[in-house]
Amino acid sequence: LPNCSECPLSHTCLALAKNRVAHHPVTRKKNKVRKRYFSYFHVVHNGSTYISRRVKQDIWKNLYEFPLVETTGPVGIEGLIKNDDFTTLFGTIPSLNIELADKFEHVLSHQVISAHFYKVIIPREATFETGGKFHRIDHAQLDNYPISRLISKYLESSSDSCG
């Protein structure tokens, strides 16, 4: 409990006047923090990469990002390869080269994002069909697009972003 006799505000304190000092400060209910698992794919194909604009109603709306697969828990490359969203993205490409490039824990007030960034190198002769879902851009143009701080941290840590 506070030492009310020494407090310079005691003469105007409503909690002291109403004998409710023990009930203050009012503790607020903490936001439930949820854990999310993101696997981003930094696709490298003939000097280009692929991005899409987020349209979901969240803090990253209208920012651009690499192809993303969200899972309910942590998964490695083996688990991703079996994931339907991964298969939709890369299923028809022969001799796909995929490796974990970096990982981050991104802490926000209401969620913690465990983000794994995979570099995916598509062979020069292969085609990568996105069904219009992703924009193919020269890797050098990536700086011209608004991106989240999470993706920015990955790009900053990646010394050889283009492969």
**Diameter over CA atoms, the chain:** 81
Q: Residue 10 pLDDT more than 80?
A: yes
Percent of the chain with pLDDT over 90: 54
Q: Residue 120 pLDDT more than 60?
A: yes
Pick the CATH number of 34-157 from 3.90.79.10, 3.40.1280.10, 3.40.50.300, 3.40.50.1370: 3.90.79.10
> What is the pLDDT, as a whole number, of residue 129?
82
DSSP line for 6-68: G-TTGGG-HHHHTT-GGG-SPPPPPPPPEEEEEEEEEEEBTTEEEEEE--SSSTTTT-EE--E
More confident residue, 103 or 24: 103
Per residue in 31-79, pLDDT (tens digit) is 789 999 999 999 999 999 999 999 988 888 999 999 999 999 999 988 9
> What is the pLDDT, as a whole number, of residue 40?
97
Average pLDDT of span 8-14:
91
Please report, as a single letter, which amino acid is at residue 58: D
Q: Residue 25 pLDDT more than 90?
A: no
The full set of domain ranges for the chain reads: 1-27, 34-157
Q: Residue 161 pLDDT more than 70?
A: no
- Residue 29: both structure tokens together: 């209910």
Average pLDDT of span 110-137:
91
Report whether 12 contacts 46 (CB < 8 A): no
Identify the burial level of 132 via C-beta atoms within 10 angstroms of its C-beta, where 0-12 means exposed, 13-18 middle and 19 or more buried: exposed
Q: Residue 163 pLDDT more than 70?
A: no
